Amino acid sequence: MQRVSQTVSSHQQTLRPSVRPPSGFLLTLVLLPQRRPVRRRFESPGIYSDDDANSDASSACSERSFGSRNGGAGPHFLRQTEDVAEVLNHCASSNWSERKEGLLGLQNLLKGQRTLSRVELKRLCEIFTRMFADPHSKVFSMFLETLVDFIVLHRDDLQDWLFVLLTQLLKKMGADLLGSVQAKVQKALDVTRDSFPLELQFNILMRFIVDQTQTPNLKVKVAILRYIEALARQMDPADFRDGTVSVFTPPHPVSWV
């Protein structure tokens, strides 16, 4: 009996070292999940791709939330602001090819419904005022195309600039232009007439007629009178009775026409 007990005890001692796990094995199992995210920061893309995708999606949502909380001032908005500044700088360039490139970029922004801030509008109106006298035909032609997009998108913000816009377009009707360019001027006038209050346009032209510092040529005078006639046909007759519009008599009506 004693021999059997000794034999069993001997087998137990023999087995214990073989089944007992290494001392660091359990510690490794416990710490491995905690080390994995830390190690992932320094590994190449592709490892733990599911975690990366979830992390990227979370970051994108965070950026959108940040932008909405800050009035849209997220990374995309800042890039758009930088793009507009660069476009306006090109439009104001003394180099005609850069002006043309700037107008092309501006067309893309306007067609994409990118509205301009008050500061951007003010600067662009100043640039466009100079472009009415641009000496390069290709730039001027593209300017007229861009002008139409500008009016359509920002008609509610341009009433302070309407005097310049309307009178400069009408003056161009008296210039010697190619037929294709003349058609673009006419289109810009048509869009202008449809985009702004009729009585405001009428009053502006009445002011222009009585301004003795203005010396339009015969073609411009004819264009102005035709434009006024088109306005009057669309206006309510009551506007002329209740003082909504101001009708002036030119100081020298015979000589003016």
- Each residue's pLDDT tens digit, 216-226: 999 999 999 99
Average pLDDT, the chain: 76
The residue ranges of every structural domain in the chain are 84-233
- The predicted pLDDT at position 236 comes to 84
Instruction: Give the separation between CA 163 and CA 212, rounded to whole angstroms.
Output: 16
Predicted model pTM: 0.66
- Each residue's pLDDT tens digit, 63-93: 343 333 334 444 444 455 568 999 999 999 9
Residues 8-22, mean pLDDT to the nearest whole number: 50
Sequence-distant (≥ 6) Cβ neighbours of residue 121 within 8 angstroms: 154, 157, 158
Residue type, 125: C
Query: Measured between alpha carbons, how far is residue 227 from residues 75, 116, 193, 202 in Å?
Result: 46, 29, 9, 9
Q: Which fold has domain 84-233?
A: Leucine-rich Repeat Variant (1.25.10)
Q: Give 19 or 229, the one with higher predicted confidence.
A: 229
- The predicted pLDDT at position 221 comes to 94
Q: Give 4 or 125, the one with higher predicted confidence.
A: 125
- The predicted pLDDT at position 168 comes to 97
- The predicted pLDDT at position 237 comes to 82
Going by pLDDT thresholds of 50, 70 and 90, the confidence category of residue 238 is confident
Q: Give 81 or 159, the one with higher predicted confidence.
A: 159
- Pick the closest to residue 228 from 199, 255, 250, 249 (CA basis): 199
- The predicted pLDDT at position 23 comes to 53
End-to-end alpha-carbon separation of the chain, Å?
Answer: 141
- Each residue's pLDDT tens digit, 106-157: 999 999 999 999 999 999 999 999 999 999 999 999 999 999 999 999 999 9
Q: Which of 6-20, 27-41, 122-136, 148-162 has the lowest mean pLDDT?
A: 27-41
- Each residue's pLDDT tens digit, 169-213: 999 999 989 999 999 999 999 999 999 999 999 999 999 999 989
